[in-house]
Structure 1
C-alpha cells in the first residue's frame, strides 16, 4: 500500500508545476499590461528592462520546477558558461519540448536575466494560446519555410535586437524539427542520412542534418551584436536501456509531464563556447562549420551511449534557490488566491479568453501580411 502511494505521488509530481506555471500566466500577463501602460510615456528601454525582469522572474519559477522539484540530476561537461551576461547565438540538438526550458534556465543562472532568450520559431507557434503572441511580441522570429519571406522576417527581427540594444541569447535549433526516435520519425531520419550521403558527408546517426539559414543571416546582419556561440549537445537519460555489452540503447526523450514525473533520471549537457571571432565569415564556410559542429554532437552522443557520460571534464552549474524562491512564492500565492475565490476564477478565465483572442487575431493578421 505504501509503495503504491509512493508511486502515485511520483507519477503526480507534474501537477504542482502544471498548476503554477500555467495558472500563473494570467497574473503574469496582467502584470505585463500594467508595465506596458505605465511605461508608454517613458523611453522604450525602461519598458524593455522591466519586461525582461518580469519574464526572468517567471523563468526562475520554471527553473525551480525544472531543476529542483523534478529531482533530475544535471550533468554539465566541457566549457563553463561565463557568469557575466553576454550576447550569444545558442545552438542545440532538438528532441522534445523540454529543450526549450534549458536556455531559459541557463539565462537565469547567467546573471539572473532569463528574459534575454529569444527564439527562431515555426510559424504555427503564433497560434499557441497565450504564449504564441507573447513570444512574438518580445522578439521571437517566426518562420514558415518560405525562403524569401522568412529571410525578410529574420532580417527585421535581427536588426530590431541591435536598434533596441537588446541583450539576447538567440536560440536556434538548426535541425528545424525534433529528432524522433519512434517509428514515426524514421522517415525524417532516413531523409537526413540520404541528404548527407548525396552531399558526400558522413550520415549522422543520433541527430538530423542541420539547416544554416538562421545562423548565416544572424552572422551576416548583426554579427557584431554577439560575443560568442554556445554550442550545446543534450541527452536525456532514463528511457535508455543497458545492453549486454555494457552500453546503452537510446529511447524517446520525456515530454514535460514525463520529465517532472521521474521518466528522466539525468540530463547530460555538453557545452562548447566558441568566441564569435572564431566563426567563419562566408556562408559556405559557416555551413561547413555547422556540419562539423553537428558531426561532433553525433560523436558525443555515440560516446555517451558507450560509456555513460560525455568525454569531457564534468562540472556543476546549479540554479541558486535564492534566485527562484521569492518569485515562486509570489506566483504560487497569486494562483492560490485567484483559484480560491469565484471572482478570481472568473478573472483568470477572462484573461485567458482575452489573450487567446489576441493571439489568434495577431496570428491571422501576420499570416495575411505575408
Structure 2
C-alpha cells in the first residue's frame, strides 16, 4: 500500500538547517518558557485556581485565563516572530466568540500549539481547553498547567473515559465562563511524530503505513469512506461534547457578504455560530516538537476555518456521527487539494500578529518572571517555603485531579 504523505514527507528537505545558533537559541527559549511557566503557576495560577476558586469558580477561571493567556501568547511570538514560521488562516471570517467548540484534524504532535496562534488573534488564547491523553498530565510543570487550565485527560478507551468526560463537561456549562474547547476526533495524530529529532524516516513510514492500514481496514469492514490524509474520526467523544454544551455555546451572528445592514435587519434571520471546524496543513513537512524548538520546520502553517451553526449539526447521535464523518471527508479533500495546490481556498482572512503587542506581552511576562525569580532565590526564606509548599500542592492536586469547591458563592 502506498501512503499519501503530502506535506508529511520526510524526503522533503528541512526548511532550515539545524545550526549551532538555532540550537542554542531554541534551548534558551525553552528554558525561558519553562521558568516563566513555573513562576506564573506558583505565584499567580496557584491563587487563581485555589484561593479565588473558593469564592467563585467563574472569577477563578477569568483570572486563570488572563495569566495563562499572557504566558501562552509567548509561544506564537516564538513561532512567528523568532522562528519566522508563516501562519496563514483561510476560510470563513472568525468571530471573536468567547464560548465555542473547536474540532480539528490531528496532523502531528504540535497541532494544538498552532491553534494558539488563531486564538491569540481573536483575543481568546487563555480560553483554550483541550481533551488530551492522560500521560501528558505527568509532564513536570506543564502537567500542572494542564490541571489548572482544566484540560480533560482521557485514556482513549471509551469505557474508561465516558464518565470522566461527562463530569468535566458539566463543569463547563456556565455561559459566563470563557471556553474554546478543542477536540481532535481522530484521537491520535496522523504522523505519530513523537520521535527523536533525527528519527529514521523509513521506520516512520512503516508506522504511518500501519496506522493507515488499520484505519482503512476498519473503514472497509464497516462501509465507511476510505481517507488518505486523515484518520477515521471517533464520534462518541465529539457527540458527548456537543450534547453537554449545546445550550451554552455562543450565538455569534454571521451576515451574508453582499447585503446592506438595513436589508439584513429586515429580512435576514440570525445564524448562530458556535463550532469552528479547522483543517491544518503544513509546508513542507509536518514538524515535531523539537523542530519547533529549534525553528527548522515548518516553513508555513495553514489553517482553514469553517464556522458552523450549532443548529446545522443534528441532535441525534447517529446523525451527528454521520455529520462528523462527512466533515472529515471534506477535510480529506481539502488536504489533497492543499498538497497539490500549496494553499487552502480563501486564504488571508486574518492579519499578522502585532509585533508591538507581542513585545509588550513578552516584557510583561518576563518582568513578572524576573521579580518572582528574585523573590524565590534571593529574598526571604519564607518565599522558598511558599514556593515549595505551592509546588507540593500542585503536584498532589494534579496527581489526584483535585480542585477546591467554593465555600461561598459570588
Taking structure 1 as the reference length, the TM-score comes to 0.83
Matching residue of 1:24? 36
Matching residue of 1:113? 124
Matching residue of 1:255? 288
Q: Quick one: distance in 1 between partners of 2:307 and 2:222?
A: 28
Which aligned pairs between 1:1-370 and structure 2 lie closer than 5 A?
7-29=19-41, 30-36=43-49, 39=52, 42-82=55-95, 84-110=96-122, 112-163=123-174, 165-180=176-191, 182=204, 183-227=206-250, 228-239=274-285, 253-259=286-292, 260-335=294-369, 343=377, 358=393, 361-362=396-397, 364-365=399-400
CA apart distance, 1:294: 0.9
Q: Quick one: distance in 2 between partners of 1:184 and 1:298?
A: 20
CA apart distance, 1:342: 9.4
Residue deviations 1:282-335, cap 9 Å, x none?
Answer: 111111111111111111111121121123444333222344322311333455
Unaligned runs of 5+ residues in structure 2 are 1-16, 193-203, 251-273, 403-410
For the structure 1 residues 19 and 34, does the alpha-carbon distance in structure 2 shift closer, same or farther, using more than 3 Å as the test? same
Matching residue of 2:12? none
For the structure 1 residues 281 and 317, does the alpha-carbon distance in structure 2 shift closer, same or farther, using more than 3 Å as the test? farther
Q: Quick one: distance in 1 between partners of 2:385 and 2:227?
A: 48
Work out whether residues 120 and 142 of structure 1, in 8 Å CA contact, stay in contact via their aligned partners in 2: yes
Q: CA RMSD in A?
A: 3.1
Residue deviations 1:192-237, cap 9 Å, x none?
Answer: 1111111222311111111112210112122011242111111111
Residue deviations 1:138-165, cap 9 Å, x none?
Answer: 3211221342441211111111111474
Work out whether residues 175 and 249 of structure 2, in 8 Å CA contact, stay in contact via their aligned partners in 1: no
For the structure 1 residues 194 and 64, does the alpha-carbon distance in structure 2 shift closer, same or farther, using more than 3 Å as the test? same
Instruction: Name the structure, 1 or 2, with higher relative contact order (CA <8 Å, separation 6+).
Output: 2
Q: Quick one: distance in 2 between partners of 1:180 and 1:37?
A: 38
For the structure 1 residues 12 and 119, does the alpha-carbon distance in structure 2 shift closer, same or farther, using more than 3 Å as the test? same
Work out whether residues 196 and 203 of structure 1, in 8 Å CA contact, stay in contact via their aligned partners in 2: yes
Taking structure 2 as the reference length, the TM-score comes to 0.75
In proportion to residue count, which structure has more helix?
1
Unaligned runs of 5+ residues in structure 1 are 240-252
CA apart distance, 1:61: 1.5
Q: Quick one: distance in 2 between partners of 1:222 and 1:6?
A: 45
SS in 1 for 2:238: helix
For the structure 1 residues 353 and 187, does the alpha-carbon distance in structure 2 shift closer, same or farther, using more than 3 Å as the test? farther
Work out whether residues 45 and 164 of structure 1, in 8 Å CA contact, stay in contact via their aligned partners in 2: no
Residue deviations 1:26-69, cap 9 Å, x none?
Answer: 21112223445663664333322222111111112122112222
Q: Quick one: distance in 1 between partners of 2:384 and 2:210?
A: 41
SS in 2 for 1:234: strand
SS in 2 for 1:169: strand
SS in 2 for 1:190: helix
What is the count of residue pairs matched by the alignment?
348
For the structure 1 residues 35 and 218, does the alpha-carbon distance in structure 2 shift closer, same or farther, using more than 3 Å as the test? closer
CA apart distance, 1:133: 3.5
CA apart distance, 1:97: 3.1
Work out whether residues 122 and 143 of structure 1, in 8 Å CA contact, stay in contact via their aligned partners in 2: yes
Residue deviations 1:10-38, cap 9 Å, x none?
Answer: 44442342122111112111222344566
Work out whether residues 303 and 311 of structure 1, in 8 Å CA contact, stay in contact via their aligned partners in 2: no
